[in-house]
């Protein structure tokens, strides 16, 4: 199974600033996924990040607000830009097993973001 780490584990940020979250995987994977979990809610897919191409965003999420980088097969970053209190959530990085397809899926420990 893949081992995923995220940095930072938590942060408290001021309104209007940006935060970049890092996701590191211990093996090469084709696709990485970024999810958001708002307080008391389920997980919502933000975007799918493929190495060497632009991320694919889900409805309701845009690149200007959540720019994503995927410089290689083991690393990705998600930036939460121009933050507001509504962005307070847990942000999770995920990868799939089996050539990067979402068969068995593994999650990082998450980044708990609070925006004041």
Partner 1 sequence: GIQVEQSPPDLILQEGANSTLRCNFSDSVNNLQWFHQNPWGQLINLFYIPSGTKQNGRLSATTVATERYSLLYISSSQTTDSGVYFCAVTHTGGFKTIFGAGTRLFVKA
Judged by CB under 8 A, the residue of 96, 114, 115, 116 near partner 1 is: 96
12 binds partner 1 (CB under 8 A): no
27: number of Cβ within 10 Å: 12
102 binds partner 1 (CB under 8 A): yes
Query: Which residues, at least 6 apart from 36, have a Cβ–Cβ distance to it below 8 Å?
Result: 43, 44, 46, 89, 90, 91, 92
44 binds partner 1 (CB under 8 A): yes
CB-based contact 2:25 (threshold 8 Å): yes
13 binds partner 1 (CB under 8 A): no
Min. distance of Cβ 30 from partner 1 in angstroms? 10
Q: Which residues bind partner 1 (CB under 8 A)?
A: 1, 31, 33, 37, 41-45, 48, 58, 90, 92, 94, 96, 101-107, 109-110, 112
């Amino acid at each position: 199974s893949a081992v995923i780490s995220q940095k930072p584990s938590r942060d408290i940020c001021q309104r209007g600033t940006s935060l970049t979250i890092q996701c590191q995987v211990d093996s090469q994977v084709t696709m990485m996924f970024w999810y958001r979990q708002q307080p008391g809610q389920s997980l919502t897919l933000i975007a799918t990040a493929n190495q060497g191409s632009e991320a694919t965003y889900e409805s309701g999420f845009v690149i200007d607000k959540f720019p994503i980088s995927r410089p290689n097969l083991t690393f990705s970053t998600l930036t939460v830009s121009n933050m507001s209190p509504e962005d307070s959530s847990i942000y999770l990085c995920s990868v799939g097993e089996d050539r990067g397809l979402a068969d068995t899926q593994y999650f990082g420990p998450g980044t708990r973001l609070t925006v004041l």
